Amino acid sequence: MSEYEAINNPALDGKSRLAALKMFAGKTNDEGAKGLRRSFARREINNHIHTIYSFSPYTPSMAALLAWEAGLGAAGSVDHDSIAAAREMLEACAVLGIGGCVGFEVRVSFKKSADGKESPFAQRKLNNPDSEGCAYMTVQGIPGQFIKKAGEFLAPLREERLRRTEKMALSANALLHEEGFSEIDFKRDILDRSKYDEGGGITERHLLAASAEKIILKNGKGSALAEALKCKMGIPLSPRQESRLLDPGNPHYLYDLLGVLKAEFLPRIYLEPGEKECLPAASVTAFAQSISAIPSYAYLGDVEESPTDDKRAEKFEDDYIEELFGELSRLGCRAIAYMPPRNTLDQLRVVRKLSAEWGFMEISGVDINSSRQSFNCPEVLSGEFRHLLDTTWALIAHERLASIDTRYGIFSGNNPFASLSLAERIFLYAESGRKLDLYHPDESAAEIAANMEKT
């Protein structure tokens, strides 16, 4: 096994993957690597990379390496219901000399408002295609001393999701059996792949990947599979989807088929998460604040055409976006996460305007969970979105400085710079993030903190 293969081997433990990464990095041109660091202020960033600990083809070490190879200056892991990637991701980024940050993503309930009364969003679709009154939120910038606590917070959610996915797998098997496909073995095809025993989270994508493999096993890759989807399963294909599935040599075949199934097959077997899995939004924001992390709403926006082929054209939160910002503020949300490639400029201008009005930090990151997706996001280098570079370095500084002392959390009421506006704090923290020794970020953070208070 080569070092490169070991870096992305989910069967190895994190220490072994990091050891392989260090050996691989040591063989690269060290001066070239350091040379890249000098220009990181103009380089891209991505704060929302999924790993094998939710659903992704990449280990944390490989996610960091691919981010580095793509020329990114910073990379962050965000997994569904899991923080298991965090320590490996941070160390891998340090090995490569790029900024690192960590967080997690969960579904939350908007059934109740902050005052306990029924929310105006209880019967509305927000950013979750599967459910009304349920939304995705991220918890970003988790200080190192709270990673274990975050894992303990997520453990019951992971267990509830496992049980729900088991029930959905039974429904999937009934449909697969009806069409003559092999049935899913839950432990082998889903549980083991999810790294659940190591703190990983099970997602619908694990179930859909297992279903996709059964369809491929029966039909092979190509025209027979496309016909089976359309004629036997009644699943429509767009011209782009069909073109990809007709190509047996397509290296992203499983992920392309998974995307089709997510939009068209999942609704047939989907079960709503219960209250123990989909916690009230206020509970999640309160937990995030208790560990000096940043609770963030993940903006989706109305979809006309899904760039990843896994969402139908559908309306989401745009019709009541102003009302939503007010509710998010009352619930304790402090940031908005969005993906410049996935929305129109008009949509994001509205989000930016409302973020400024409500005092929300803007966090960018394209949620990578497929081999087809690029680690690059050149939109953040444009004039309209260059501020997202600053917020990323501010996020990194927040995480490192709050790991020393929680009063350095950018939204802490005890922050020595609390009298500054959010824009001023972000500028100060961004400058501090850029001053970190990225090969030794923990060691350099203490000195930066001391110098910050002198200015």
* Average pLDDT estimate for 48-66: 97
d(CA 20, CA 2): 9
Asked if pLDDT for residue 38 goes beyond 50, the answer is no
* pLDDT the model gives residue 338: 95
Asked if pLDDT for residue 409 goes beyond 90, the answer is yes
Q: What is the CA radius of gyration of the chain?
A: 22
Asked if pLDDT for residue 351 goes beyond 70, the answer is yes
Please provide residue 186's backbone torsions phi and psi, each rounded to the nearest 5 degrees: -60, -45
* pLDDT the model gives residue 365: 84
Give the chain's mean pLDDT. Answer: 92
Per-residue pLDDT tens for 415-432?
Answer: 999 999 999 999 999 999
* pLDDT the model gives residue 396: 98
* pLDDT the model gives residue 34: 44
User: Residue 453: which pLDDT band, with cuts at 50, 70 and 90?
Assistant: confident
Share of the chain above pLDDT 70, in %: 95
- The structure tokens listed for 292 are 């000096």
Residue 111 lies in a domain: yes
Residue 3 lies in a domain: no
Short-list 101, 145, 148, 438, CA closest to 296 = 101
Residue 9 lies in a domain: no
For 294-337, the DSSP string reads EEEEE----BSS-TTS-S-SB--SGGGHHHHHHHHHHHT--EEE
Please provide residue 50's backbone torsions phi and psi, each rounded to the nearest 5 degrees: -80, 155
Asked if pLDDT for residue 35 goes beyond 70, the answer is no
* pLDDT the model gives residue 311: 53
User: Residue 312: which pLDDT band, with cuts at 50, 70 and 90?
Assistant: low
Short-list 194, 177, 310, 196, CA closest to 252 = 310
User: Residue 242: which pLDDT band, with cuts at 50, 70 and 90?
Assistant: very high
Residue 318 lies in a domain: yes
* pLDDT the model gives residue 42: 44
Whichever domain contains 258, its CATH number is 3.20.20.140
* Average pLDDT estimate for 315-331: 95
Residue 29 lies in a domain: yes
First to last CA, the chain: 51
Share of the chain above pLDDT 90, in %: 84
The count of domains in the chain is: 1
d(CA 393, CA 390): 5
* pLDDT the model gives residue 297: 97
User: Residue 41: which pLDDT band, with cuts at 50, 70 and 90?
Assistant: very low
Asked if pLDDT for residue 36 goes beyond 70, the answer is no
Per-residue pLDDT tens for 201-215?
Answer: 999 999 999 999 999
Other CB atoms within 10 A of residue 356 CB: 12
Which three-class secondary structure state does DSSP give residue 137?
Answer: strand
* pLDDT the model gives residue 115: 79
Domain of residue 65 covers: 17-455
Query: CA-CA distances (angstroms) from residue 379 to 46, 63, 231, 341?
Result: 11, 20, 40, 7
Per-residue pLDDT tens for 276-298?
Answer: 999 999 999 999 999 999 999 99
* Greatest distance between any 2 Cα atoms in the chain: 71
Strand duo 99-109 + 134-140: pairing: antiparallel
Short-list 316, 282, 386, CA closest to 42 = 386
Residue 447 lies in a domain: yes
d(CA 3, CA 19): 9
d(CA 155, CA 411): 26
User: Residue 33: which pLDDT band, with cuts at 50, 70 and 90?
Assistant: very low
State pTM to two decimals.
Answer: 0.93
- The structure tokens listed for 227 are 């016909």
Amino acid at position 116, single letter:
G
* pLDDT the model gives residue 113: 83
Strand duo 335-338 + 361-364: pairing: parallel
Per-residue pLDDT tens for 152-190?
Answer: 999 999 999 999 999 999 999 999 999 999 999 999 999
User: Residue 410: which pLDDT band, with cuts at 50, 70 and 90?
Assistant: very high
Burial 236-273 (b: 16+ CB within 10 A, else e): ebeeebbebbeeeebebbbbbbbbbbbbbbbeebbeeb
Q: Do the beta carbons of residue 57 and residue 370 sit within 8 Å?
A: yes
* Average pLDDT estimate for 115-127: 89
Residue 448 lies in a domain: yes
Among the listed ranges 112-121, 318-327, 417-426, which one has the minimum average pLDDT value? 112-121
Q: Do the beta carbons of residue 265 and residue 318 sit within 8 Å?
A: no
Asked if pLDDT for residue 40 goes beyond 60, the answer is no
* pLDDT the model gives residue 306: 53
Residue 5 lies in a domain: no
Asked if pLDDT for residue 305 goes beyond 90, the answer is no
